[in-house]
């Protein structure tokens, strides 16, 4: 017994050391990879903290602000919480698997291997391309995955017989998950379905604890709802308005995109592993397995229904990955290791391409080139080729974010309706500067917004001689909109103080 305990403790420490080294590697990689346009845009959120934004709830800004406290306004700082929260979430997921195995005693073979079996969900989750890249590229999915892992851990404690006050933590994780991304409502709705549809769930509803947890969740959600209420419900309308884009004639296209996106983001073999795991869950009758099924199948049904007539973005189902990874515990096949190895190999290929570009591909096929290639060098070229002490202007939020992050010696002006919702200074009409526009947009600057004074040679953004994009350069003057002197659709972006 003593020898087994010592071996167990040694195994735990080895796993923690391995997780620590993985986290350190991710932090190093995060410092090297140039910011993607969306990350540069979220950085501006972090510099203008609010309870809501046009595109998403605000949790990603808190993740960035915490990282900036430790590492400054740098790529490392903005991404710091990605590897850290993934490490903590991994520990929570492994502990959840341990509690499931120990409390239900479902898998005799697994019980003998104990801790090793419980490691499977953590290894599988970290081997998915979505989570691997999500630790390096900061998006709203990064805190979302963490809070979904916390939600599962909290519920597993309840079903293992721990104090019912864990319902408060369930509510907290559900509410903060909503503050990360609205798709958090789907697995939470699955939890609600379990409470209503199962005997064990209805027994809980006869106690005050789930209701108190719901109150905690609502309290967490109130700031986001209030922000929307005072800003014309713009975020809810933007995200909810996707349901109005209904094109059933393209159903097979949308379904193919949904399936292909998950095969890519999970990695092919892990996607198969997830499907097999759900099949095994259907055979089980214990409370936690039924709960996992509700938290997985209800969101899947919503995504499939949406894909009948509209596009489901590939990253939306990532909210299910912690639950799907946890369900892998009940799969007896040993090929899960090969599935994880393939996922890790795909991650290495993508990161290697982003850092060193060993394969020369067009931006159409190379996402790393299209999204992250050559931004520091591009902004340096812009500053050299455009007259000094002049204003740089962008009418696309990602480009504005990249300019704001990498520029050294001048101000950046963003022009787009979304900027009216930010607490940044606005510009007066009549201001002059140099507008940069991606050639991929295939159009001219909006004549109702700008007077074009002159056009200059294009400036290319490239990585190792592979051109990611070319940008037209216009000398423009901001036009007045109506009788207003200030342009509310503009924002003078803060300079990077690194």
Q: What is the DSSP string of 272-338?
A: HHHHHHHHHHTT--SHHHHHHHHHHHHHHHHHHHHHTTS---TTGGGGGHHHHHHHGGG---TTHHH
**Does the pLDDT of residue 4 top 80, yes or no?**
no
Q: How many C-beta neighbours within 10 Å does residue 225 have? A: 17
Radius of gyration of the chain (CA): 24
Helix (H) / strand (E) element for 462: namely strand 450-463
Stated as kind and residue range, the H or E segment containing 471 is strand 466-478
Token readout for 283 is 């055979």
Structure tokens at 90: 């991994």
3-state secondary structure of 486: strand
CB atoms within 10 A of CB 36: 23
Which pLDDT tens digit goes with each residue over 84-96?
999 999 999 999 9
Q: Which residue has the tokens 């342009």?
A: 487
Q: What's the CA dihedral at 425, 427, 428, 429 to 10 degrees? A: -150
Rounded CA separation 176/146 (Å): 10
b/e map of 415-453 (b: 16 or more CB within 10 Å)? bbebbbbbebebbebeeebbbbbbeeeeeebeeebbeee
Backbone angles phi, psi at 138, to 5 degrees: -80, 120
Q: Is 0.85 surpassed by the pTM of this model?
A: yes
Q: What is the rounded distance in angstroms from the CA atom of residue 145 to the CA atom of residue 43?
A: 20
Closest CA to 171 of 149, 196, 154: 154
| pLDDT band with cut points at 50, 70 and 90 for residue 484 | confident
Q: How far apart are CA 228 and CA 494, in angstroms?
A: 25
pLDDT at 473 over 70: yes
pLDDT at site 114: 66
Tokens standing for 368? 């790393």
40-68 pLDDT per residue, tens = 999 999 999 999 999 999 999 999 999 99
Note the pLDDT of residue 434.
Answer: 98
275-316 pLDDT per residue, tens: 999 999 999 989 999 999 999 999 999 999 999 989 999 999
Q: Which residue has the tokens 């346009």?
A: 37
- What is the rounded CA–CA span in Å between residue 277 and residue 163? 29
pLDDT in tens, 400-441: 999 999 998 789 999 999 999 999 999 999 999 999 999 998
pLDDT of residue 442: 83
- Torsional class of 51: left (φ above 0), alpha (ψ -120 to 50), beta (otherwise): alpha
Distance of CA 492 to the CA centre of its chain: 27
Work out the average pLDDT over 28-44: 97
What integer is the mean pLDDT of 151-180? 97
Question: Domain residues of the chain, as ranges?
Answer: 1-356, 371-493
Percentage above 90 pLDDT, the chain: 84
> pLDDT band at 489, cuts 50/70/90?
very high
Q: What share of the chain is helix, strand, coil (3-state, %, to 5)?
A: 65, 10, 25
* Residue 238, number of CB atoms within 10 A of its CB: 14
pLDDT at 109: 47
Whether the pLDDT of residue 208 is over 90: the answer is yes
């Amino acid at each position: 017994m003593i020898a087994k305990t010592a071996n167990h403790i040694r195994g735990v420490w080895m796993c923690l050391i391995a997780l620590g080294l993985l986290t350190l590697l991710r932090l190093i990689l995060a410092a090297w990879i140039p910011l993607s346009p969306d990350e540069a845009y979220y950085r501006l959120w972090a510099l203008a903290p609010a309870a809501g934004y046009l595109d998403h709830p605000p949790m990603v800004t808190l993740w960035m602000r915490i990282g900036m406290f430790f590492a400054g306004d740098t790529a490392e700082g903005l991404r710091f919480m990605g590897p850290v929260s993934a490490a903590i979430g991994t520990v929570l997921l492994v502990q959840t698997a341990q509690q499931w195995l120990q409390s239900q005693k479902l898998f005799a073979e697994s019980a003998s291997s104990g801790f090793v079996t419980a490691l499977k969900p953590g290894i599988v989750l970290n081997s998915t391309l979505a989570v691997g890249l999500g630790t390096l590229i900061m998006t709203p999915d990064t805190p979302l995955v963490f809070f979904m892992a916390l939600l599962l851990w909290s519920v597993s404690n309840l079903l293992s017989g721990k104090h019912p006050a864990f319902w408060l933590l369930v509510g907290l994780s559900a509410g903060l998950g909503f503050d990360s991304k609205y798709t958090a409502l789907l697995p939470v709705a699955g939890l609600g379905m379990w409470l209503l549809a199962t005997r064990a769930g209805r027994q809980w509803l006869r106690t005050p604890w789930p209701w108190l947890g719901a109150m905690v969740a609502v309290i967490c959600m109130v700031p986001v709802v209030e922000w929307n209420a005072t800003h014309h419900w713009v975020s809810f309308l933007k995200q909810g308005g996707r349901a109005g884009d209904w094109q059933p004639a393209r159903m097979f296209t949308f379904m193919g995109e949904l399936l292909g996106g998950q095969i890519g983001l999970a990695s092919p073999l892990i996607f198969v592993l997830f499907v097999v795991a759900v099949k095994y869950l259907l055979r089980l009758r214990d409370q936690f397995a039924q709960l996992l099924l509700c938290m997985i199948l209800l969101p899947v049904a919503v995504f499939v229904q949406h894909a009948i007539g509209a596009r489901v973005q590939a990253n939306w189902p990532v909210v299910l990955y912690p639950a799907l990874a946890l369900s892998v515990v009940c799969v007896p096949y040993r090929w899960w290791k090969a599935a994880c190895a393939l996922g890790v190999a795909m991650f290495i290929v993508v990161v290697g391409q982003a850092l060193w570009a060993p394969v020369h591909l067009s931006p159409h096929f190379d996402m790393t080139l299209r999204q992250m290639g050559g931004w520091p060098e591009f902004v340096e070229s812009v500053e050299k080729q455009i007259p000094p002490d002049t204003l740089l202007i962008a009418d696309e939020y990602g480009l504005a974010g990249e300019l704001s992050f990498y520029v050294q010696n001048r101000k950046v002006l963003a022009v787009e309706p979304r900027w009216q919702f930010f607490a940044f200074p606005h510009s007066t009409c009549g201001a002059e500067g140099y507008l940069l526009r991606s050639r991929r947009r295939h159009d001219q600057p909006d004549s109702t917004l700008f007077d074009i004074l002159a056009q200059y040679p294009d400036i290319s953004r490239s990585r190792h001689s592979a051109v990611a994009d070319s940008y037209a350069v216009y000398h423009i003057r901001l036009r007045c909109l109506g009788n207003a002197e200030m342009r509310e659709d503009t924002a003078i972006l803060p300079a990077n103080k690194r």
